[in-house]
Amino acid sequence: MVSGKPSNNKSLKSGNNFNIVMILLCLFLVFLGKFDLIAIRSIKAFLSDFLAPVIFVFNKPVNEIADVLDRVKSVSSLRDENIRMKSEIRRLKVWKSKKENQVLEFLELKELLKVIPENTYDIITGRVITAPGGIFANTVLINVGKKDGISVGQTAVSSYGLVGYVVNVGLSTSRILLVIDINSMIPVYFTGSNWPAVVQGLNGEFLKIKFLSNEANLIEGEHIQTSGHGGMLPSGISVGIVVKSYSGSYYVKPSVNFQRLTYVSIIKNFNAKQDVNKTFNSYAPMQMPKGSIGLKGINSSGTRVKGSVIVE
């Protein structure tokens, strides 16, 4: 098929039919891929497993160059960075002393309310093999797979927050769909106002906010965390912060820098259904009804309380 000779009219005409057959085959494959068949997923996983070492070899020198460039850039701004860090340390020291008291208070209240302790997650960490995908898909390949207990749907996090979730698993590699991908939709809540919403990737830098109540007033810089609605992802994982665009609409800037992802942790044992089935013999603090007068010693349901203990 490959020849060093110049292509001529005759060869083109004879190849035309074959070209059309191949294009039709591509179209068939496109629609077949859309059905998300297990066989196709397995083939993809196998190919990812097979290609992983090659990708790693090719990515290694470029990653090293990128690291060197980053180091050079950081050296030039070292002095400014040092001044900034010193002021940050002072600020954090003040914050730490305040926080220590609050933590004690929080633990006491938690004990008092008999809050079910959150599950300690079983986490496995893998190295990212590829840089985030192309222009139509944003995914990364990591070097842990089925043999390490990874399965489709598990949550991927980094030290900064939510990375995405597992969409395809091979024997020794897994593919993670990043939150910035157009097919990713994450149920979240705004930490400042508690409004729930859904954030959707745009295949770009920011996430779009969807299904947000009209009553919600967004604040620039407000933190967003996973709400855990739907039971697919654990709650309380940082997703990003609210940013305002020049046009005045609000977007979410992810807390994770996907370009600099080196290691990703997979939460293996999260199962929302398990929590629901647990016997629950405590209560969550009730919200005060609007316009009600709070009487000392009587809670909003009308039960007399003595100190912090309910008298029935």
Partner 1 sequence: MNTNYVFDIFSNFSKNLFFFIILFICINIESSLKALTFFEQASPSILSIILYICVRKLSINISNLMLFTLGILYDVLFAGNLGTSSLFFLLIKYMTQHINLKHNNNNNNNNNKDWIYFTIIFISSFFIKFIFNIFLNMKIPDFSPILFHLGITLIIFPFIVVGIKIIYFVTKLIKN
One residue of 38, 78, 94, 135 binding partner 1 per CB under 8 A: 135
Q: Quick check: 298 binds partner 1 (CB under 8 A)?
A: no
Q: How far is the CB of 152 from partner 1 (least distance, A)?
A: 14
Q: Which of 61, 117, 291, 307 binds partner 1 (CB under 8 A)?
A: 61
Would you say 142 or 234 has its CB closer to partner 1?
142
183 binds partner 1 (CB under 8 A): yes
- For 49-87, the DSSP string reads HHHHHHHHHHHHHHHHHHHHHHHHHHHHTHHHHHHHHHH
Restricting to residues 139-168, name those near partner 1 by CB under 8 A.
139, 168
Scanning residues 241 to 270, which ones bind partner 1 (CB under 8 A)? 259
Is 76 near partner 1 (CB under 8 A)? Answer: no
d(CA 266, CA 234): 12
3-state class (DSSP) for residue 31: helix
Cβ closest to partner 1, residue 187 vs residue 234: 187
Cβ nearer to partner 1, comparing 18 with 95? 18
- Within 10 angstroms of residue 218's Cβ, the number of other Cβ atoms is 20
CA distance between the termini of the chain: 88
Rounded Cα–Cα distance for residues 13 and 20 (Å)? 11
Question: Contact between 75 and partner 1 (CB under 8 A)?
Answer: no
- Of the pair 135, 276, the CB lying nearest partner 1 is at 135
Query: Are the beta carbons of 268 and 150 closer than 8 angstroms?
Result: yes
Q: Long-range contact list for 22-30, CB < 8 A, 24+ apart?
A: none
Per CB under 8 A, residues contacting partner 1 are 1-7, 9, 11-12, 15, 18-19, 22-23, 25-30, 32-34, 40, 44, 47-48, 51, 54-55, 58-59, 61-63, 65-66, 69-70, 130-137, 139, 168, 175, 177, 182-183, 202-205, 259
